[in-house]
Structure 1
Amino acid sequence: MKIFAFGSSIVSSYWNGAATYYRGCYKYLSRRGHQITFAEPDAYGRQQRRDSDDFSYVRSLVYQPEIDLDAMLKLAGEADVIVKHSGIGVDDETLERRILERQGSAAITFWDVDAPATIARMHADGNDAFRISMPQYDAVLTYGGGPWCREQYLALGARAYFSIYNGLDPETHHPVPLDVSLRCDVAFLGNRLPDREARVEELFLRAADLAPESSFLLGGEGWGDKQIPPNVRYIGHVPTADHNRVNCSAGMVMNINRASMASSGFSPPTRVFEVAGAGTCLLCDDWPGIDDCFKPGSEILVVKTAEDVVRALAEHDDASRRRIGEAFHSRGLRDHTYAQRAAQAEAAFEHCLRERALV
């Protein structure tokens, strides 16, 4: 099938946490024989910070916001499946409305990469543009999910709902040699966002305060003016191509979900699976559904407080961390690959096309 997707960016991970997810899903959809076009706006400086990955599995189109929408929508009208991803950042409301004009025989889907935020927005405003148009979409797909997201979307009028979790691409996320310049006891990669900052302060920065003899590494955008303990080294934005080096050079890597994701649960972010691919021990914040993905204690270590982090550092020596990392790696390869996610997305699209053929 021909799939035309509108999203924030597939070629740049700069201020774009969905990049790895887009790449994994569409790379393996392409390998299943589908033709993928991914259209993204020239916005937020992302085209000036393109990653060095191979994107030959998609036809990548970069358009000028507002100016090129007519041309992009005309091209989208030639597809079998049209996807509007959430959170593009420009022209979202216009695209969500005008994409329905191109329906014809094509399946029109909304693929949400931040379902808690979208759901909260629709509940806050009964006149929200997407809340009004969403029942006309053939399906909603979300990168997280679980019972709460499904119930909310169906209650708000979604025709069909599918959870397509983040995953592991073993060709992209894999063990590499340790880089001594990045060696540390605990690493965390994540942009500074309002609904994650308090959790980072507790689980990462306060833990560093409580463990002055340990070394901590902080990567991501926005932390430059943050007051941090002396045993925390800030390295700024880390391109996705360098994530393996960071993950494989840390004794443990930390995952900290945004507060909205932690509250709704069932939303393992890309960094969880990147670390699984590296085979490094993960310190994961606590949220509903994590044990559906990995087994706490033997495949991951769940931490709720800074004291839990300090305790994990003390109780797990190098051998213990390696065992946990290896089990984490094996489970990721068994149950959580992007090849599996792509098959799920394909099934969702085929469902939509079958339903549309009956109309």
Structure 2
Amino acid sequence: MRLAVIGLSLSSSWGNGHATTFRSLLRGMHGRGHEVLFLEQDVPWYAPHRDLTEPDFARLALYADPEDLRARFAGEVADADAVIVGSYVQRGPEVLDWVRDTARGTVAFYDIDTPITLSRMGRADHYIRPDQVPGLDLYLSFTGGPTLGRIERDLGAPRARALYCSVDAARYRPEAREGRRRWQLGYLGTYSEDRQPVLDALLLEPARRRGGAFVVAGPQYPGGIDWPRGVERIDHLPPARHPGFYNDQDFTLNVTRADMVAAGWSPSVRLFEAGACGTPIVSDAWEGLDALLPEGEAIVIARGPGDVEAALDLPATRRAAMGRAAREIVRARHSSDARAAELEAFLEEAA
């Protein structure tokens, strides 16, 4: 299959979760024998932070603007067996109209921000219009559960399918550590105003109460945050360092955007990355999480700082068992190859 993807970014993981999502998925597609072209707009905020310029699983091409995209890549879009346009593509409605007019194969929209998309649908500055949804062959959504029915029923999508993030289980795996791990609890994520109160309750407050070694990694945190003593800050952690980061923690924390919590069934890639490393996970609560990673068996679901502290006090054998359970689930259901196989099936169904 010849697959063309127009997405926010493949080259830079700085300040976005799209790049790691596309890297894992497209690596899986390449491993299954498909030819992949990724088209990304060259923007100044990602240009200084590119950490993957020559992927070995896809051909990456940068375009200056939609006019340049149309001028240089119309032939390849027309000839592709399937074309996927991602959320947050600049001038997205214009790009999607062009793709629908140009492509002869299956046309899909991959919504990596589904609850946000639905809440903003119809705004002039948004990346897909409501009238474009019925004309798609396939609506791929980062959010599953009841939201899929809403996309079909209310927006007229002919088929909406959940395509969660995934992880390359060959790259994310347990690593041996001698003695104690570096941190008791860590968090990896770009600053978000709506996530910050949860991060404060589930990591900063336990750090204030008990002391010890904690870490928060990710860019764009404002200067006014009161970081407790013992909380280390890492401004940006490139993907190549993620496995080591998870392996240096007794537990890792997952915190979910408010829109995703409200919709439920919206796992982040951090869940699957940590799970693949066998690192025990503490997460905030949302509908559908227990169906993905059973509570108490493969994950701790925390509703307050006391739940986090209780998890940190679990014996090492119990933590290890939870990490192994999460790893088995992630390798079987949420690996690059597993997600690529799902995408294959969806595209065949739509075709």
TM range (shorter): over 0.9
Which secondary structure state, in structure 1, belongs to the residue aligned with residue 79 of structure 2? coil
- Give runs of aligned pairs for residues 290-329 of structure 1, distance below 5 A: 290-314=289-313, 316-329=314-327
Gapped regions of structure 1 (runs ≥ 5): 354-359
1:107, 1:15 → 2: CA distance? 30
Offset at residue 29 of structure 1 (A): 1.2
Q: Does 1:10 align with 2:29?
A: no
**2:136 corresponding residue in structure 1:** 137
Amino acid paired to 2:78? G
1:203, 1:170 → 2: CA distance? 27
185-194 or 91-100, which moves further after superposition?
Answer: 91-100
1:180–1:249 contact (8 Å) kept in structure 2: no
2:15–2:190 contact (8 Å) kept in structure 1: yes
Amino acid paired to 1:347? A
Q: Does 1:169 align with 2:162?
A: no
Gapped regions of structure 2 (runs ≥ 5): none
TM-score, normalised on structure 2?
0.93
Which secondary structure state, in structure 2, belongs to the residue aligned with residue 292 of structure 1? helix
Q: Does 1:31 align with 2:25?
A: no
1:210–1:310 contact (8 Å) kept in structure 2: no
Offset at residue 54 of structure 1 (A): 6.7
Offset at residue 253 of structure 1 (A): 0.4
Offset at residue 31 of structure 1 (A): 1.9
2:100, 2:91 → 1: CA distance? 15
Amino acid paired to 1:323? A
- Give runs of aligned pairs for residues 84-103 of structure 1, distance below 5 A: 84-88=85-89, 90-103=90-103
131-140 or 47-56, which moves further after superposition?
Answer: 47-56
1:76, 1:38 → 2: CA distance? 11
- Give runs of aligned pairs for residues 49-64 of structure 1, distance below 5 A: 49-51=49-51, 55-64=55-64
Which secondary structure state, in structure 2, belongs to the residue aligned with residue 33 of structure 1? coil
Amino acid paired to 1:121? R
- Give runs of aligned pairs for residues 342-353 of structure 1, distance below 5 A: 342-353=340-351
Deviations 1:251-308 (A, max 9, x none): 1100001111111111111000100111011001111111111111111111111221
Amino acid paired to 1:337? S
Amino acid paired to 1:243? H
Q: Does 1:284 align with 2:283?
A: yes
1:253–1:275 contact (8 Å) kept in structure 2: yes
**2:189 corresponding residue in structure 1:** 190
Offset at residue 245 of structure 1 (A): 0.8
Which secondary structure state, in structure 2, belongs to the residue aligned with residue 48 of structure 1? helix
**2:48 corresponding residue in structure 1:** 48
Question: CA separation of 1:258/1:50 partners in 2, compared to 1, >3 Å: closer, same or farther?
Answer: same
How many residue pairs get aligned? The number is 348
2:290, 2:80 → 1: CA distance? 38
Offset at residue 198 of structure 1 (A): 2.2
2:88–2:127 contact (8 Å) kept in structure 1: no
Offset at residue 117 of structure 1 (A): 0.6
2:180, 2:11 → 1: CA distance? 27
Offset at residue 160 of structure 1 (A): 0.8
Amino acid paired to 2:37? T
1:93–1:129 contact (8 Å) kept in structure 2: yes
1:115–1:149 contact (8 Å) kept in structure 2: no
Amino acid paired to 1:218? V
**2:265 corresponding residue in structure 1:** 266
Amino acid paired to 1:98? W
Question: CA separation of 1:302/1:106 partners in 2, compared to 1, >3 Å: closer, same or farther?
Answer: same
1:156, 1:305 → 2: CA distance? 37
1:181, 1:244 → 2: CA distance? 17
Q: Could you list the runs of 4 or more consecutive aligned residues of structure 1 that deviate by over 4 angstroms after TM superposition?
A: 177-182
1:3–1:82 contact (8 Å) kept in structure 2: yes
Question: CA separation of 1:134/1:350 partners in 2, compared to 1, >3 Å: closer, same or farther?
Answer: same
1:216, 1:350 → 2: CA distance? 46
142-151 or 254-263, which moves further after superposition?
Answer: 142-151
1:233, 1:268 → 2: CA distance? 26
Q: Which residue of 327, 330, 348 maps to 2:328?
A: 330
Which secondary structure state, in structure 1, belongs to the residue aligned with residue 110 of structure 2? strand
Offset at residue 240 of structure 1 (A): 0.7
Q: Aligned-residue CA RMSD in angstroms?
A: 2.2
1:266–1:288 contact (8 Å) kept in structure 2: yes
Offset at residue 135 of structure 1 (A): 1.1
Offset at residue 195 of structure 1 (A): 2.5
**1:356 corresponding residue in structure 2:** none
Offset at residue 52 of structure 1 (A): 5.0
Amino acid paired to 2:287? P
Which secondary structure state, in structure 1, belongs to the residue aligned with residue 129 of structure 2? helix
290-299 or 74-83, which moves further after superposition?
Answer: 74-83
TM-score, normalised on structure 1?
0.91
Which secondary structure state, in structure 2, belongs to the residue aligned with residue 166 of structure 1? coil
Offset at residue 48 of structure 1 (A): 2.5
**1:357 corresponding residue in structure 2:** none
**1:148 corresponding residue in structure 2:** 147
2:178, 2:257 → 1: CA distance? 29
Which secondary structure state, in structure 2, belongs to the residue aligned with residue 77 of structure 1? helix
Amino acid paired to 1:171? A
Deviations 1:3-36 (A, max 9, x none): 1100111122111212221111111112222111
1:174–1:279 contact (8 Å) kept in structure 2: yes
1:180, 1:220 → 2: CA distance? 26
Which secondary structure state, in structure 1, belongs to the residue aligned with residue 195 of structure 2? helix
1:250, 1:345 → 2: CA distance? 33
